Structure 1
Amino acid sequence: MADEIDRANDLVAMMASAAVAEICRAAGKQDAQPTGFCLWCGHVVTDNARWCDAECRDDWEWANARGL
């Protein structure tokens, strides 16, 4: 019986840890607001764009997802 309780406690602890980690990740994410410049490389952009191309967007999202 103790083994089942130990496994249940381990599962609860793991789920709580994952929930806290997700909250921390979500809180650290930056919101991408248009500034007139590419948010990744700094080139001038128009029409409320946030990035100059898909590569800059992908790089920015990759770095932002990792908190860089």
Structure 2
Amino acid sequence: MSRQFDLASDLEQLSRDHAIEAARAGAKRETPAPTGTCPWCEEAAPVGATFCTAECAGDWQEHHARVGRAARISGAK
């Protein structure tokens, strides 16, 4: 009987892992991937960094938060 419980548990875990993987694959990335250019001011960004400075990162995040709130208020999202 314990073998059946183990198989059921394994199947449940596999199902959960697939659901998490699917959710991550379909999730919209909040912050752009590092490209070497700051997406806010278009200056050169350090290697491996998305933004050139913490100030640009904060400005970008504030702007996108405002845009998201406006979209939710208007019913667009």
Length-normalised TM-score, structure 2? 0.46
**Partner SS state of residue 56, structure 1:** coil
The Cα of 1:5 is off from its aligned counterpart by: 0.5
Are the aligned partners of 1:38 and 1:52 in contact in 2 as well (CA < 8 Å)? yes
Aligned match of 1:28: 27
Q: Which moved more, 1:20-29 or 1:3-12?
A: 20-29
Aligned match of 1:38: 38
RMSD over aligned CA atoms reads: 3.0
**Runs ≥4 residues deviating over 6 A:** none
The Cα of 1:29 is off from its aligned counterpart by: 3.5
Aligned match of 1:13: 12
Length-normalised TM-score, structure 1? 0.51
Are the aligned partners of 1:43 and 1:52 in contact in 2 as well (CA < 8 Å)? no
Tell me the percent identity: 11
Measure, in 1, the Cα distance between the counterparts of 2:18 and 2:46: 34
Q: How many residues in Structure 1 have an aligned counterpart in Structure 2?
A: 47
1:3 corresponds to 2:9 = no
Structure 2: give runs of 5+ residues left out of the alignment. Answer: 51-77
Structure 1: give runs of 5+ residues left out of the alignment. Answer: 46-50, 58-68
Measure, in 1, the Cα distance between the counterparts of 2:46 and 2:28: 21
